[in-house]
């Protein structure tokens, strides 16, 4: 993770940064992608009386913080890698070189890029099955991820996990989980282990909007708050669980408010702006590392593709999709880079070319790798034989 870590402007919370003017010559990032207009992604609380708790962070002033050139360039490169990698994966699925399930993250890239840039080496990350972008940003080699998609022995889960079950302990990536919401108690458990072992590290536990209706989430939230576990719960709210919209699922559309029932610091975040994501995670990480326990962040985001490769996405309008494409996070970062002369068009093209070559190499690597041998079926059922909490 250290290799891919994006340099942040500051580790301090925006509560203190907001008083200071943005450094001269740096991007005023709020204006960069929204033109300073009220953001339609962040309509605010639709029932203010529900947000009366002192832990509702949605009312905090957001600073128009800037980040240095290197940060923007690294965000650009990371997000382009995620997108180009998945564009290719989608094509390969169409050619039946990738089989089984394949859920693309295209459109949501800012959520992962902004989270990972706020993490420290040794922190953990767990998510659901839409999981190609997360290990890419955490530092897993694209070769190992593509090989996993091809079910090859050189894949990051030895070809036994496939698209939904990426795993890479070396970079702190604890999967890749196909059962909706299953990772929520596991994320709390990982955070418990960090606290128990006094590592000073935290766990980001990411889920979709569909997962918040699972009962186990409520048990995990309650326990995590009670024990002040160093966990950041993240809802990547892309508006739909398969074809079911959030509006059709519950009366509560601002999902961050679920955390308020547990007195958990909770806030909505514009998930199409990598800067906002990063800053929210920095604030949550400070609380987690200070022993103050969990935070719930709701990233309002959007997936451009269907739920999976077989979904024609008839439940939404073309206009809705276009509306989000106009607020594309990669284009936003590109715009900031160019307007602030952090790089030229030619520099960005060179990055794009580098990524194209990386993706092509990953496909070649996957194609040329062997399938796992049958004896692999019996290996890795339990990874750690001396697991400390389970005894006869």
Ligand X SMILES: Cc1ncc(C[n+]2csc(CCOP(=O)(O)OP(=O)(O)O)c2C)c(N)n1
Residues that bind Mg ion (CB under 5 A): 208-209, 238, 241
Q: Which does 288 bind (CB under 5 to 8 A by kind): ligand X, Mg ion, none?
A: none
> Which of these ranges, 34-42, 209-217, 276-284, 378-386, lies near ligand X under the rule CB under 6 A?
209-217
Between 13 and 308, CB nearer to Mg ion: 308
Nearer to Mg ion, 135 or 208 (CB): 208
Residues numbered 106-165 forming contacts with ligand X, rule: CB under 6 A? 128, 130
For β-strands 240-241 and 244-245, DSSP reports them as antiparallel
Distance of CA 159 to the CA centre of its chain: 23
Binding of residue 210 to ligand X (CB under 6 A): yes
Report, in Å, the least distance between residue 175 CB and Mg ion: 18
Using CB under 6 A, pick the residue from 78, 183, 238, 301 that binds ligand X. 238
Partner that binds at residue 132, options Mg ion, ligand X, none, CB closer than 5 to 8 Å by kind: none
Residues that contact ligand X, how many (by CB under 6 A):
14
How far apart are alpha carbons 291 and 206 in whole angstroms? Answer: 20
CB of 207 to ligand X, least distance (A): 6
**H runs (alpha helix) in 227-264:** 246-249
Residues in the chain: 392
Give the nearest residue (CB) to ligand X: 208
- Cα(245)–Cα(378) distance, integer angstroms: 40
Note whether 241 binds ligand X by CB under 6 A.
yes
- Kindly report the backbone phi and psi dihedral angles of residue 269, in degrees, each rounded to the nearest multiple of 5, phi listed first: -135, 140
Q: Which helix (H) or strand (E) holds 350?
A: helix 345-368
CA dist 259 and 170 (Å) reads 31
Q: Least separation, in Å, of the C-beta of 321 and Mg ion?
A: 15
CB of 241 to ligand X, least distance (A): 3
For the CA atoms of the chain, what is the radius of gyration? Answer: 20
Tokens 């601002």 appear where?
A: 254
Task: Please select the residue that binds ligand X; options are 167, 221, 233, 240, rule is CB under 6 A.
Answer: 240
Helix (H) or strand (E) holding 241: strand 240-241
Cβ nearer to ligand X, comparing 279 with 298? 298
Tally: H helices and E strands in the chain? 13, 7
CB-nearer residue toward ligand X: 212 or 232: 212
**Under the criterion CB under 6 A, does residue 179 sit at the interface with ligand X?**
yes
The token pair that represents 156 in the structure block = 């990051």
Of residues 79 and 111, the one with the C-beta less far from ligand X = 111
Nearer to ligand X, 273 or 307 (CB): 307
Sheet holding 231-237, edge to edge: 124-126, 203-208, 231-237, 295-300, 266-270
Interaction site with ligand X (CB under 6 A) = 128, 130, 178-180, 208-211, 238, 240-242, 307
């Amino acid at each position: 993770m250290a290799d891919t870590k994006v340099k942040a402007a500051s580790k301090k919370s925006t509560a203190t940064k907001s008083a200071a003017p943005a450094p001269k010559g740096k991007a005023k990032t709020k204006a960069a992608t929204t033109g300073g207009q009220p953001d339609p992604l962040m309509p605010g609380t639709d029932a203010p009386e529900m947000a009366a708790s002192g832990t509702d962070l949605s009312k905090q002033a957001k600073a128009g913080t800037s980040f240095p050139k290197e940060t923007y360039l690294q965000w650009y490169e990371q997000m382009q890698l995620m997108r180009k990698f998945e564009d290719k994966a989608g094509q390969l699925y169409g050619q039946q070189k990738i089989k089984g399930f394949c859920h693309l993250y295209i459109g949501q890239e800012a959520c992962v890029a902004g989270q990972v840039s706020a993490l420290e080496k040794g922190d953990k990350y767990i998510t659901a099955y839409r999981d190609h972008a997360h290990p890419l940003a955490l530092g897993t080699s694209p070769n190992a991820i593509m090989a996993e998609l091809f079910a090859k022995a050189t894949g990051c889960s030895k070809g036994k996990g496939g698209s939904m079950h990426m795993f890479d302990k070396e970079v702190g990536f604890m999967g890749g989980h196909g059962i909706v919401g299953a990772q929520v108690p596991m994320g709390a458990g990982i955070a418990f282990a960090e606290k128990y072992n006094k590592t000073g590290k935290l766990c980001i536990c990411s889920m979709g909007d569909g997962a918040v209706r699972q009962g186990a989430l409520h048990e995990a939230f309650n326990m995590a708050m009670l024990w002040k576990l160093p966990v950041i719960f993240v809802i990547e709210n892309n508006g739909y669980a398969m074809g079911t919209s959030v509006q059709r699922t519950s009366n509560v559309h601002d999902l961050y408010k679920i955390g308020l029932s547990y007195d958990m610091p909770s806030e909505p975040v514009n998930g199409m702006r990598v800067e906002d994501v990063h800053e929210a995670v920095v604030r949550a990480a400070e609380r987690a590392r200070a022993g103050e326990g969990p935070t719930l962040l709701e990233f309002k985001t959007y997936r451009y593709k269907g739920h999976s490769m077989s979904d024609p996405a008839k439940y939404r309008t073309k206009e809705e999709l276009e509306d989000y494409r106009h607020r594309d996070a990669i284009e936003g970062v590109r715009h900031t880079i160019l307007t602030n002369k952090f790089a030229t068009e030619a520099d960005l093209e060179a990055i794009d070319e580098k990524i194209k070559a990386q993706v092509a190499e990953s496909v070649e690597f996957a194609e040329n790798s062997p399938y796992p041998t049958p004896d692999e079926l019996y290996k890795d059922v339990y990874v750690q034989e001396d697991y400390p909490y389970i005894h006869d």
